Chain A
Amino acid sequence: MIDKHSQRRHLHSRLVLLATLVCVVLLSSCKTTDDAASAAKELSSTSADLCAYYKDLSAQVDDTVVLNEIQHAVFGVPFEDQDRAQLADMKNEIKKRADLADSLSKLASDYGTLAGSKAPGDASTAANKLGSELQSVKALPKSSPVPDAISQAAKLVLEFAQSLELKKGAQALQQTVSGIRQLYDTEKPAYEAISKQRIVLASSVAKQLVDKDQVDLNSVFAPALKPFDFSPKLQSGVYPAEYKELAKVEIGQKADEQMNASVQKTEALSKSLKKVDDDLAAVVSGKKSGKGKG
């Protein structure tokens, strides 16, 4: 027969067990929300980087148009309306990707706020905007089609705009990142080619201008005189061939450096997108991400 003391002890231990269970559930939910907020913060930052990358790429397409026009003036290479139109289409599609990345960054930021405070904020507006932008993305001109993941993401994002459920939001964000990442990785060679083309065109024109004595070469000799606080004062128009060669070697070296830097930047962003995609997938599946930034 159980005495009163034993009954109390039994009740007490059951209460302790129940309280522990409640704490575990609450902490787990709290951790999930923290992970979601953390992943959203990371996504917002990566998307902002992606937006800046696309804006820079768009500016490079503008430069490429100008460089082709300069090449026409300097070398007489034809640059026709069809070439100009192709670059304009390219720029237009890149701009859409920049807008998409910008909207994703804003939605991720609003989602982070929502996950942290339960206040809807502007998440619904941001989600609607992103959803419609996802629907409008097309492939770069004359390229393979946009991945299916993008249209699936558009659907999920628009659903989240209606419900504002955190779980749906996390799924929508993850699907969006997955789609954008797939698009980015497929188009990576195109991005690198755009950057390289700009640099190769620029270096070709620059070398020709050096040969034609149309460039001030003072800066080439600056490193030799700077330690002594002197400035070069070369006689313009009478540069010896050796000086011109030196300038052209420098142009070639800087062109190589810029091309390598561009490839590295493109690759680094691809890795960042993969990381944020993985982190969001972990949040969606309920696994501890443990990778999110604070």
Chain B
Amino acid sequence: MSEALQSLQDLYFYLTNNLATLQAKYSQEPQKSEFMTQYVAARRNFFNSINKVFHDDDPQIVTLCAQMKQQQATLKKEVDTMNDVAKVLNAITTAVQIGAKIASLAG
């Protein structure tokens, strides 16, 4: 599996595995809708890319994958503590946006 697809899969699977925790934190609007929108976007980024060709040596993909790795580490740290739910939601949104950029580079 290419590194690009792997990074999209990791984000979607991470959010799915932590769905119960996150959903409990975002039970009120507007955060509830915002979280669901990001989760569905992560799923579509992954699913739309599962059979596409990524060029892992493309400098843009290399940069985005590195950013995604960094962002997922930040997200994991935030979710583990859950001190600031708004910060967690921002971290999710940023990761999903990076994912959308990666997905757009698939051949």
Contact = CB atoms under 8 A, between A and B. Distances in A.
Contacts of A77: 19, 36, 39-40
Interface residues of A, number: 28
Interface in B1-41: 1-2, 5, 9, 12-13, 16-17, 19-20, 23, 36, 39-40
Given A144-B51, A193-B5, A75 B40 contact: no
A194 B16 CA distance: 15
Interface string A182-225: 00000101101110110011011001100100000000000000
A86 to B, nearest CB: 7
Contacts of A189: 1-2, 5, 50-51
Given A140-B51, A193-B50, A203 B1 contact: no
Interface residues of B, number: 24
A144 B52 contact: yes
B73 interface: no
Nearest to A192: B1
Given A144-B52, A189-B50, A200-B13, A78 B36 contact: yes
A208 B17 contact: no
Contacts of A139: 51
7 contacts: A83-B47, A144-B52, A190-B50, A193-B9, A196-B9, A197-B12, A204-B19
Interface of B: 1-2, 5, 9, 12-13, 16-17, 19-20, 23, 36, 39-40, 43-44, 46-48, 50-53, 107
| 10 A-B pairs closest in CB distance | A143-B51, A190-B51, A193-B50, A140-B51, A189-B1, A190-B50, A208-B20, A204-B16, A144-B53, A200-B13
Given A71-B19, A83-B44, A197-B47, 19 more contacts: A75-B23, A76-B36, A77-B39, A77-B40, A78-B36, A83-B43, A86-B47, A142-B52, A143-B52, A144-B107, A189-B51, A193-B46, A193-B50, A196-B9, A197-B12, A200-B17, A204-B17, A208-B19, A208-B20
